[in-house]
Amino acid sequence: MPASAKPSLRFFHAAALRARSNKVLDAIERDKDPTQHAAALSSLVLDLTEAGMNYYFLKPLQQAKVGFVARQTASLGMAGSLRVMSPIIRSILAGTNATQLHVIARHIRQLM
């Protein structure tokens, strides 16, 4: 089944994050040694993850007028998740080779 025929979800994020996404992915796609961009890709992945978590979970809580304490709890939980994920993502992407980085960049590009 082609990707376009599969069910999907998307989220909206800031134009600045989109511009940064394109810049990082372009650098990986064009550079002879894309491994030098692993740290930038890690940061991008974390920022996209945070934007998605905000869009899919925190924003609906706010729109539903869920209580302040519940929203704060959810926000702290999301922040904690990102703190746990951050070193893992950075470590894994730091250990990838050029081919692997190209595959990851291509996947992110296809999501855009």
* Predicted confidence (pLDDT) at residue 82 exceeds the cutoff of 80: yes
CA distance 45 to 13: 13
Could you tell me the pTM of the whole model?
0.87
Nearest to 103, CA basis, from 46, 23, 28: 28
Taking a C-beta distance cutoff of 8 angstroms, is the pair 62, 72 a contact? no
Q: How would residue 1 be classed by pLDDT, with cut points 50, 70 and 90?
A: low
pLDDT per position as a tens digit, 2-49: 767 788 888 889 999 999 999 999 999 999 999 999 999 999 999 999
Alpha helices in the chain (DSSP H): 15-30, 38-53, 59-63, 68-94, 98-111
DSSP state of 9: -
Nearest to 13, CA basis, from 64, 53, 63: 53
Look over the chain and give the mean of its residue pLDDT values, rounded to a whole number.
Answer: 94
Q: How would residue 87 be classed by pLDDT, with cut points 50, 70 and 90?
A: very high
